[in-house]
Amino acid sequence: MGSIDAEVLGSEKKSNPGKATILALGKAFPHQLVMQEYLVDGYFKTTKCDDPELKQKLTRLCKTTTVKTRYVVMSEEILKKYPELAIEGGSTVTQRLDICNDAVTEMAVEASRACIKNWGRSISEITHLVYVSSSEARLPGGDLYLAKGLGLSPDTHRVLLYFVGCSGGVAGLRVAKDIAENNPGSRVLLATSETTIIGFKPPSVDRPYDLVGVALFGDGAGAMIIGSDPDPVCEKPLFELHTAIQNFLPDTEKTIDGRLTEQGINFKLARELPQIIEDNVENFCKRLIGKAGLAHKNYNQMFWAVHPGGPAILNRMEKRLNLSPEKLSPSRRALMDYGNASSNSIVYVLEYMLEESKKVRNMNEEENEWGLILAFGPGVTFEGIIAINLDV
């Protein structure tokens, strides 16, 4: 693995031979748009709950998450067809999976088509598929149904990542990077797709932590095309993926805990999660930057594409790493517009990163080319990639 001369920071705009690059991005959402200001009344009406304390708690959570809008698969039509989803204690995993399996495939196909259109090349040139989801469970997996929905060649090599949670998008990107760099000429489609229906439940005093998910999480899909040695005639690389690492923290497996039960996913986030991330993020970033061969450690000279797990995580990261407020702006915008969309979120963050880079360039201000792509998920697992913004 080659090292980087810190002196070239901000000077190189072409991808390095053999290094994986992101060649296109795409996204898709279900049709149901939820405005955060109306969520509480709608949720309690739908679930026929009249507990004033729970309603007050959800109201507070909706304000603190900073989320303004989200897209969700859940709708009045679905609840009319499956009213048992809003009733406590029923065995509904079969119904949930029937809805989720179809929904995630539909969104993944739409996001992938948008990505392929942005890429500008033929779908027949896709050689590999990496599919990520924590919202379905079936055999064969969603990778096959996505390949079928897109009309991919039966020779397409597929990789499936299930139940990786919020780190899934960056984990999939790491896997796609390895595939692209070890298969010259390959073009990898990475697709992520998530829906919260798998864990939708009525409010309960026995599960107050469920309200965090109600206030925070959103649905959608994302897609990327990854390949090395871009064709200068018909491909425009967006980011080079230079170095990737993964790390899990021993004895933290209960911090983000999800179990598939007869009632769907029972999901629990421990209160100490933001503190755990704050306590460990700097050492992780040091390891990542060190492995890439970067001699400097000025975080504010780099861009930061961070999975927006929630405002507390972003705030603690900003404080611990002494980041300028604008560094996490793409992550905060993604959180505000889409909520925490699990594995999809990193696609939305990267889109906002490119948008803000263009604004800086138009204002003739210096833009940061080197940066970090980060996510945190069950384990607790840290995923990180040192990248170069080539779209500057």
For residue 336, the Cα-to-chain-centroid distance in whole angstroms is 14
Provide the CATH number for the domain formed by 20-228 in this structure: 3.40.47.10
Is 106 within 8 Å of 191 (Cβ atoms)? no
Q: Is pLDDT above 90 for 363? A: no
The residue with tokens 């810190």 is 6
**In the block, which residue shows the tokens 């603190």?**
64
Q: pLDDT confidence of 1, banded at 50, 70, 90?
A: very low
Determine the topology of domain 239-389 in CATH: Peroxisomal Thiolase; Chain A, domain 1 (3.40.47)
Is 115 one of the catalytic residues? no
Nearest to 4 by CA among 370, 389, 353, 281: 370
Say whether 239-389 and 20-228 share the same fold: yes
- CA 34 to CA 38: how far, in whole Å? 7
Which of 49, 166, 234, 285 is catalytic? The answer is 166
Instruction: Output the 3-class SS for 183-200.
Output: CCCCCEEEEEEECHHHHC
**pLDDT at residue 192, rounded to an integer:** 98
- pLDDT exceeds cutoff 50 at 23: yes
Long-range pairs for 281-285: beta carbons < 8 A, 24 or more residues apart: 281/317, 281/320, 281/321, 281/374, 281/382, 282/320, 282/321, 284/245, 284/247, 284/382, 284/384, 285/321, 285/372, 285/374, 285/384
Helix, strand, coil percentages in the chain from 3-state DSSP, rounded to 5: 45, 25, 35
pLDDT the model gives residue 364: 59
| DSSP per-residue string spanning 190-228 | EEEEE-GGGG-----TT-TTHHHHHHHB--EEEEEEEEE
Q: At what angle do helices 168-182 and 345-362 cross, to 10 degrees?
A: 80
| Amino acid of residue 122 | S
Mean pLDDT of the chain: 92
Q: Check: CB of residue 243 under 8 Å from CB of residue 386.
A: yes
Residue 208 and residue 256: Cα distance in Å, rounded?
Answer: 15
Residue 282 per-residue DSSP state: H
Domains of the chain by residue range: 20-228, 239-389
Query: Pairing relation of β-strands 220-228 and 157-162?
Result: unpaired
For residue 339, give the nearest of 28, 35, 25 by alpha carbon: 35
The mean per-residue pLDDT over the stretch 307-329 comes to: 96
pLDDT band at 330 (very low <50, low <70, confident <90, very high): very high
* pLDDT tens, residue by residue, 345-354: 999 999 999 9
The one-letter amino acid code at 164 reads V
* Between 90 and 295, residue with greater pLDDT: 90
What pLDDT digit, counting tens, does each position of 278-302 carry?
Answer: 999 999 999 999 998 886 668 998 9
Q: What are the structure tokens assigned to 59, written together?
A: 């109201």
Q: Give the helix/strand (H/E) hosting 386.
A: strand 381-389
| Contact status, residue 281 vs residue 320, Cβ threshold 8 Å | yes
Q: State the alpha helices, DSSP H only, in the chain.
A: 36-46, 52-64, 76-81, 93-119, 142-150, 168-182, 210-216, 273-292, 311-321, 329-338, 345-362
pTM as predicted: 0.93
Average pLDDT over residues 330-358: 96
Read off the pLDDT of residues 194-207 as tens digits, 9 standing for 90 and up: 999 999 999 998 88
Contact 126, 187 (CB under 8 A): yes
